[in-house]
Structure 1
């Protein structure tokens, strides 16, 4: 079954959440809460997924401008996203590989590969580069 994109539904979501360039910490926090709410849901609609991608991009742009770029690491970003979705390492086995591999990545004993970063990016609906050292 192919899901189709409903532009009217997406327009309604845009109207409801009113995404815009983030100008201050309060706005950033509001959009972070919306992102966490969307991430906690199962089976996002294509419209919700598109909204999520837009909000994540707006947050990334704000944080890249207002925070130290090197303040976080691929490891800390992964832990933050896991925490936001209440995930345990075992929940990532199908995405990353074996439980041993997941454990080593979560414990900063192993770097995330490009292939794993792409899988994590798709799973968390974020840019895969978040999981890679530049």
Structure 2
């Protein structure tokens, strides 16, 4: 199979890139201020794009989130947190009590999870993840 890449004039890329860079302000994250600016922009794009993966700005969102991930990998230490602590945190952030999560697991199970007497099952983790719109891996 013969794959050919079309020849692109670097001057044409520069002509498109400079207005984009001026508008966005940050195209690679080097400082905390850059990171904060990109995070704000990502939030604006998320609000505009919503769940539309075909939105024309989806590629820009992807590009910026990759930049954020690269910066985080190098500069941000994320401590290991026990799943019960994650659940407790999410409950506090959403103002929820154990009884508010009975659609995810029985209240007695939630109590045992928070007390450290029981782990979070895969099924419950999926339900918590859906409820809080997070990755289920947070609960393992």
Scaled by the length of structure 2, the TM-score of the pair is: 0.50
Instruction: Say which structure, 1 or 2, has more relative contact order (CA 8 Å, 6+ apart).
Output: 1
1:124 alignment partner, one of 98, 117, 132: 132
Which protein is bigger by CA-based radius of gyration? 2
Query: Aligned in 2, Cα 1:63/1:100: closer, same or farther, shift over 3 Å?
Result: farther
5+ residue gaps, structure 2, are 1-26, 44-48, 54-60
Spell out, residue by residue over 1:36-95, the C-alpha distance to the aligned partner (whole angstroms, 9 max, x if none): xxxxxxxxxx937x9xxx9xxx6x95766512442x111111111111101111111111
1:75 is matched with 84
What is the alpha-carbon root mean square deviation over aligned residues? 3.6
1:90 alignment partner, one of 90, 96, 99: 99
2:50 alignment partner, one of 13, 30, 47: 47
1:24 Cα deviation (Å)?
3.2
Scaled by the length of structure 1, the TM-score of the pair is: 0.51
5+ residue gaps, structure 1, are 1-19, 35-45
Q: Which runs of 4+ in 1 moved over 2 A?
A: 20-28, 60-65
